[in-house]
């Protein structure tokens, strides 16, 4: 029987922390905090799977969260009749058809090598096919976008149940991860970091600017809830049922991950992480396994992001920021202990509470500084002191990352090493 | 003719300007990548820090009544380079060296550099606030208009752009001389090629590391200052400039300073040419052919708001077809 004393102490401490929050901040607010924390825990489990189990360095968590959240919005938001009645669907259909023909042409150009075409000619044909497809499709899409924005503002959703939306969120995040991983996973981990950083920025730019598809900065709200909303059952009951749902999701994900961790699959993953060459010499397909785990982790991020965004009932692309949705998750994982699922959950819940509570605290602190500075030294604070106070938290996140890496690289709940055999 | 001059102004000159900035940043990143073997994510913020140091020193100079024919930020640039280089050394000593000594894998250093990025960002905004500033105090921003015979419009070059051309040229020549002639430069290339072999031939790794940070920090200071002289001083440069710089580094081949310069210009020109409105150039051709085809009002490969996609696509293409980069760097 392994020693669980540390786990018990830490989670008891966490329970006490939440009890204090509930006692001082009011039930409705605390429930909101807890729901968001559990959503973050699902996301953190995804990152812990990628980083702790496989050593994959993903700094584009925000991108996968945003992609998942948007997918879920598209699936579940009520149908926009003005869009379906107009020319938009037909135009989009034609664009999709042209894109499909283009993809076929690119594929055909790649296949010309089989008929004895020299490599440079095949490459040239591929490039030409790519360029023509890109130009034609982007021109078409531009026209379609203008028509849709004029007729119906944006495409609206499909009005399907929320659970389908969450599942689709995971699938889309996974598909994006598959493409990124396919390109980068054969190379050193730094490349994956650079590429994920880039893809996250690009997903955000797309969501912000493609008004016809995402309603852009005009935001989409209210998003449907998977459970009865506040209007029907009251604030606290509604939030409590939502919490029950996300907590169940978290527990299911946790149990599945624990099962995978102890299964031969998990052992193989750790073997690959610890010594890639040895694992490869035992006949393990290193890159394929990494791709698998990268896709799984990103799916969790997508689903977690969807759960988070539905709870807040508003989809705002500018609301996704690196700090809150990438680096905060990183702090959760490395503070809690990479390669330990309970550590990731502890880190997520703990860090989220501290993070949320630190906002009013830092504002209060800087307000104090302003008053005292004025009273004692006649110092006139700049008007934007409040937004500067927020940036102090950026500094603290960075410092936490640097310090944890240096002094406690294992986190508070280190990975459990099997002592068997 | 007017259209051609518009093309020179909007595409070539701005491509050269942004390409120089990327090149100066990418040299630092590629040296750190080659010698210390990790992707330094805090480089964009090092540039911002350099620009802010320049702002503070120039403001102090302006308050002291110093006047000069060039912008004050350029006058104080040597001091800015020193301060930023010292800061880079300090960051290394405080955050990267302990991890290196502990034998941490490269990924941990990458993450530490992300921590440093966030810290720098937080500090900059804490002290300077989120708004952007002008880098000019007493002196006007000179603009040169060059007449081209037979055309109504003129080629427009601003003073900071000219100074940037000069600085880039000087930096590239000096770097070439340093890496190919000086003892330390040769030692740096040796460590970049094979650290173990370099160590047993008696090269001090610590000295090489120090030189790397000084060069990287100094060039970042120049790039940051010149960029904010050309546009404005913004506190949120970091991630937007990081992706093109990394793309330039990888295109040029990791550990290849000349490759980084070429990559920087390649990425810079691709960006400006991709967002350039090609209708401007097609219109006279359409006139010439007597309206045989119609030119749309706007014809760019990529809309301006998706500019960031250009370096990313370049990155993806290079990673798929030639992960070593065009100058045959390493795949680490």
ipTM for the complex shown: 0.87
State whether A114 and A53 are in the same domain. Answer: no
- Cβ–Cβ under 8 Å, residues B30 and B260: yes
For residue A178, the distance in angstroms to the closest alpha carbon of chain B comes to 14
Q: Which of A54, A66, A88 is nearest to A185 (CA)?
A: A54
At A170-202, the pLDDT tens digits run 999 999 999 999 888 877 778 888 889 889 988
Which residues of B, range 275-304, sit inside 8 Å of A by Cβ? 301, 303
Q: How many Å apart are CA A380 and CA A348, to the nearest integer?
A: 39
Residues of A in contact with B108 (CB under 8 A): 405, 409
CB-based burial label for A17 (10 Å; 0-12, 13-18, 19+): middle
| Subunit contact A405:B242, Cβ cutoff 8 A | no
Query: Could you tell me if A278 and A139 lie in one domain?
Result: no
- Would an 8 Å CB–CB cutoff place B90 in contact with chain A? no
Q: Do A41 and A131 fall within a single domain?
A: no
**E strand or H helix at A352:** helix A341-377
pLDDT tens column, A271-306: 888 888 898 898 888 889 999 999 999 999 999 999
pLDDT band at A419 (very low <50, low <70, confident <90, very high): low
Q: Any alpha helices (H) in A153-285, and if so which ranges?
A: 162-184, 189-209, 211-214, 230-233, 235-262, 264-274, 276-281
- A130: chain B residues, CB-CB within 8 Å: none
Of A191, A205, A397, the CB nearest to B118: A397
Asked if residue A73 and residue A91 are part of one domain, the reply reads: no
Domain containing residue A268: 5-77+178-407
Cβ-in-10-Å burial (0-12, 13-18, 19+) of A190 comes to buried
How many residues are given for chain A?
A: 421
Residues 127-166 of chain A with CB under 8 A from chain B are 134-135
Q: What number is the average pLDDT over the span A18-24?
A: 91
Q: Which of A46-50, A140-144, A336-340, B313-317 has the highest mean pLDDT?
A: A46-50
- Rounded distance between C-alpha atoms, residue A239 and residue B315, angstroms: 44
Beta strands in chain B (DSSP E): 143-146, 155-158
Taking CA–CA distances from B129, the nearest residue in chain A reads: A388
Q: Is A120 on the interface with B (CB under 8 A)?
A: no
Nearest CA in chain B to A205: B306
Q: Quickly list H helices, B182-332.
A: 183-193, 195-200, 205-230, 238-252, 257-275, 279-288, 309-321
Assign B332 a pLDDT band (cuts: 50, 70, 90). Answer: very low
| Residues of chain B found within 8 Å of residue A391, distances taken between Cβ atoms | 121-122, 125-126, 130
Question: Hey, are the CB atoms on A190 and B106 less than 8 Å from each other?
Answer: yes
> Which residue in the set B95, B104, B123 is minimally distant from A402, CB to CB?
B95
Asked if residue A113 and residue A34 are part of one domain, the reply reads no
Residues A216 and A282 in one domain: yes
Is A268 found in the same domain as A120?
Answer: no
Pair A273, A387 in one domain = yes
CB within 8 Å: B319 and A57: no
Residue A130 lies in a domain: yes
pLDDT at residue A103 above 50? Answer: yes
Give how far A52 is from chain B: nearest CA, Å.
Answer: 12
Among B34, B90, B118, B279, most A C-beta atoms within 10 A, so best to mutate, is B118
Distance from C-alpha of A316 to C-alpha of A321, rounded to nearest angstrom: 11
Q: What residues 239-268 of chain B have any CB closer than 8 A to a CB of chain A?
A: 239-240, 242-243, 246, 250
Q: What is the pLDDT of residue A223?
A: 87
Lowest mean pLDDT among A208-217, A371-380, B34-43: A371-380
Helices (H) and strands (E) in chain B, counts: 15, 2
Across the range B116-124, mean pLDDT stands at 90
Query: A333 at the B interface (CB within 8 A)?
Result: no
For B203, phi then psi, to 5°, come to -80, 135
Residue A418 has what pLDDT?
65
Question: What percentage of chain B has pLDDT greater than the value 70?
Answer: 96
A49 and A196 share one domain: yes
Same domain, A86 and A73: no
Q: With a cut of 70, say whether residue B329 has pLDDT above it.
A: no
**Beta-carbon neighbour count of residue A348 at 10 Å?**
30
d(CA B271, CA B115) in angstroms, rounded, equals 29
Question: Which residue among B38, B121, B315 sits closest to A195, beta carbon to beta carbon?
Answer: B315
Listed residues A152, A168, A201: the one ending a domain = A152
The Cα–Cα gap between B7 and A227 comes to 58
Cα dist from B99 to A192, A329, B103, B299, whole Å: 21, 22, 6, 50
- For B191-240, how does the pLDDT look when each residue is reduced to its tens digit (9 = 90+)? 888 888 988 998 888 999 999 999 999 999 999 999 888 888 888 776 77
User: Which tops the pLDDT comparison, A81 or A332?
Assistant: A332
Longest dimension (CA), chain A: 85
Cα separation, B153 vs A133, whole angstroms: 36
pLDDT value at A206 more than 70? yes
Which of residues 7 through 36 in chain A touch B, CB cutoff 8 A?
A: none
SS3 assignment for A24-62: HHCHHHHHHHHHHHHHHHHHHHHHHHHHHHHCCCCCCHH
Residue B299 has pLDDT above 90, yes or no: no
Write down how long chain B is: 332
Q: In total, how many domains does chain A have?
A: 2
For residue A30, pLDDT over 80 is answered with yes
Task: Please indicate, yes or no, if residue A415 is contained in any of the structural domains.
Answer: no
A162 to chain B, minimum CA–CA distance in Å? Answer: 31
Please, what is the Cα angle at B30 between B75 and B191, to 5 degrees?
110
Same domain, yes or no, for A308 and A357?
yes
Query: Quick one: tokens of B142?
Result: 């000179």
| Range A309-326 average pLDDT | 89
Say yes or no for a CB contact (<8 Å) between A393 and B240: no
Provide, as residue numbers in chain B, all residues whose Cβ is less than 8 Å from the Cβ of A201: 239-240, 243, 308
DSSP for residue B201: T
- Spatial neighbors of B269 by CB under 8 A, at least 6 apart, are B15, B16, B19
Residue A81 neighbours by CB under 8 Å, 6+ apart? none
Interface of A with B in 34-73 (CB under 8 A): 55, 57, 59
Distance of CA A131 to the CA centre of its chain: 31
Calculate the average pLDDT of chain B. 86
- For residue A1, what pLDDT band results from cuts at 50, 70 and 90? very low
The DSSP call for residue A324 is I
Q: What is the mean pLDDT of residues B79-107?
A: 91
Residue A416 has pLDDT above 70, yes or no: yes
Site from A188, A366, A390 to mutate, B interface, most B CB atoms within 10 angstroms? A188
Pair A195, A119 in one domain: no
DSSP classification of residue A282:
T
Angle, helix A385-407 to helix A328-336, in steps of 10 degrees: 30
Smallest Cβ–Cβ distance between A190 and the set B38, B98, B118 belongs to B38
Mean pLDDT over residues B16-30, rounded?
93
> Which chain A residues touch B320 with a CB distance below 8 Å?
183
Query: Does the pLDDT at position A408 exceed 60?
Result: yes
- Find all residues with CB under 8 Å of B78, minimum gap 6, and list them: none
Q: Given an 8 Å threshold on Cβ–Cβ distance, is A194 in contact with B301?
A: no
Q: What are the domain boundaries of chain B? A: 2-321
In CATH terms, is domain B2-321 a member of 1.10.3470?
yes
Of the candidates B104, B103, B50, which has an alpha carbon nearest to the alpha carbon of residue B79?
B50
- Using alpha carbons, select from A298, A299, A268, A300 the residue that is nearest to residue A286: A268
Please name which of A130, A210, A150 lies closest in space to residue B301, comparing C-alpha atoms. Answer: A130
Question: Domain for residue A118, yes or no?
Answer: yes
pLDDT in tens, B236-263: 776 778 899 999 999 988 888 888 999 9
Cβ contacts of B120 on chain A, cutoff 8 Å: 398
Express each pLDDT in B276-294 by its tens digit: 888 788 777 777 776 666 6
pTM, whole model, 2 decimals? Answer: 0.90
Pairing mode, if any, of strands B155-158 and B143-146? antiparallel
């Amino acid at each position: 029987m392994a020693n669980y004393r540390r786990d018990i102490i830490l989670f008891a401490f966490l329970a006490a922390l939440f009890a204090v929050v509930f006692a001082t901040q009011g039930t409705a607010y605390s429930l909101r905090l807890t729901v968001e924390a559990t959503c973050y825990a699902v996301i953190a489990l995804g990152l812990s799977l990628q980083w702790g189990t496989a050593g994959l360095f993903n700094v584009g968590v925000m991108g996968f969260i945003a992609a998942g959240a948007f997918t879920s919005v598209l699936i579940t938001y009520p149908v926009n009749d003005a869009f379906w009645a107009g020319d938009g669907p037909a135009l989009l259909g034609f664009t999709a058809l042209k894109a499909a023909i283009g993809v076929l042409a690119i594929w055909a150009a790649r296949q010309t090598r089989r008929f004895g075409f020299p490599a440079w000619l095949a490459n040239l044909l591929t490039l030409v096919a790519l360029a023509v497809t890109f130009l034609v499709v982007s021109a078409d899409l531009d026209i379609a976008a203008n028509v849709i924005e004029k007729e119906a503002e944006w495409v609206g959703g499909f009005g399907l149940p929320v659970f389908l939306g969450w599942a689709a969120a995971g699938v889309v995040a996974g598909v994006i991860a598959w493409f990124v991983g396919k390109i980068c996973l054969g190379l050193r981990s730094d490349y994956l970091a650079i590429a994920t950083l880039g893809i996250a920025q690009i997903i955000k730019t797309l969501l912000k600017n493609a008004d016809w598809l995402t309603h852009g900065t005009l935001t989409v709200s209210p998003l449907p809830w998977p459970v009865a909303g506040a209007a029907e059952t009251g604030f606290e009951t509604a939030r409590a049922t939502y919490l029950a749902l996300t907590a169940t999701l978290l527990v299911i994900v946790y149990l599945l991950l624990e099962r995978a961790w102890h299964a031969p699959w998990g052992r193989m993953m750790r073997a690959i992480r610890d010594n890639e060459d040895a694992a490869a010499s035992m006949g393990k397909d290193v890159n394929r396994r990494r791709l698998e785990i990268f896709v799984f982790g990103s799916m969790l991020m997508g689903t977690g992001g969807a759960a988070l965004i539905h709870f807040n009932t508003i989809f705002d692309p500018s609301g996704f920021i690196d700090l809150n949705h990438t680096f905060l998750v990183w702090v959760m994982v490395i503070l809690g202990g990479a390669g330990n699922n309970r550590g990731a959950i502890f880190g997520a819940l703990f860090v989220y509470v501290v993070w949320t509570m630190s906002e009013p605290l830092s504002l209060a602190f800087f307000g104090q500084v302003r008053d005292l500075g004025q009273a004692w030294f006649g110092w006139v604070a700049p008007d934007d002191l409040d937004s500067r106070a927020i940036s102090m938290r950026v500094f603290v996140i960075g410092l936490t990352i640097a310090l944890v890496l240096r002094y406690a690289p294992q986190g508070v709940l280190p990975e459990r090493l099997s002592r068997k055999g | 003719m007017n259209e051609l001059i518009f093309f020179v102004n909007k595409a070539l000159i701005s491509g050269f300007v942004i390409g120089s900035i990327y090149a100066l940043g990418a040299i630092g990143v590629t040296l750190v990548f080659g010698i210390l073997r990790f992707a330094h994510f805090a480089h964009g913020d090092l540039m911002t820090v350099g620009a802010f140091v320049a702002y503070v020193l120039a403001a102090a100079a302006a308050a002291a009544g110093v006047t000069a024919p060039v912008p004050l930020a350029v006058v104080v640039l040597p001091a800015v380079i020193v301060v930023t280089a010292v800061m880079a050394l300090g960051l290394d000593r405080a955050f990267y060296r302990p991890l290196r000594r502990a034998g941490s894998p490269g990924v941990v250093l990458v993450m530490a550099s992300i921590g440093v990025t966030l810290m720098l960002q937080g500090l900059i905004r804490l002290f300077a606030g989120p708004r952007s500033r002008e880098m000019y105090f007493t002196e006007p921003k000179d603009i040169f208009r060059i007449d081209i015979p037979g055309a109504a419009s003129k080629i427009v070059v601003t003073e900071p752009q000219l100074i940037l051309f000069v600085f880039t040229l000087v930096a590239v020549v000096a770097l070439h001389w340093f890496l190919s002639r000086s003892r330390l430069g040769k030692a740096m290339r040796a460590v970049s090629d094979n650290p173990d072999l370099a160590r047993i031939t008696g090269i001090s790794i610590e000295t090489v590391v120090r030189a790397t940070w000084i060069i990287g920090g100094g060039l970042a200071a120049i790039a940051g200052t010149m960029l904010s002289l050309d546009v404005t001083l913004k506190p949120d440069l970091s991630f937007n400039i990081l992706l093109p710089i990394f793309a330039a580094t990888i295109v040029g081949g990791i550990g290849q300073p000349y490759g980084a310069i070429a990559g920087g210009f390649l990425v810079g020109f691709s960006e400006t040419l991709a967002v350039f409105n090609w209708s401007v150039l097609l219109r006279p051709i359409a006139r010439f052919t007597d309206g045989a085809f119609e030119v749309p009002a706007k014809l760019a490969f990529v809309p301006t708001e998706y500019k960031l996609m250009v370096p990313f696509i370049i990155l993806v293409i290079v990673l798929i077809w030639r992960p070593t980069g065009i100058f045959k760097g390493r795949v680490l």
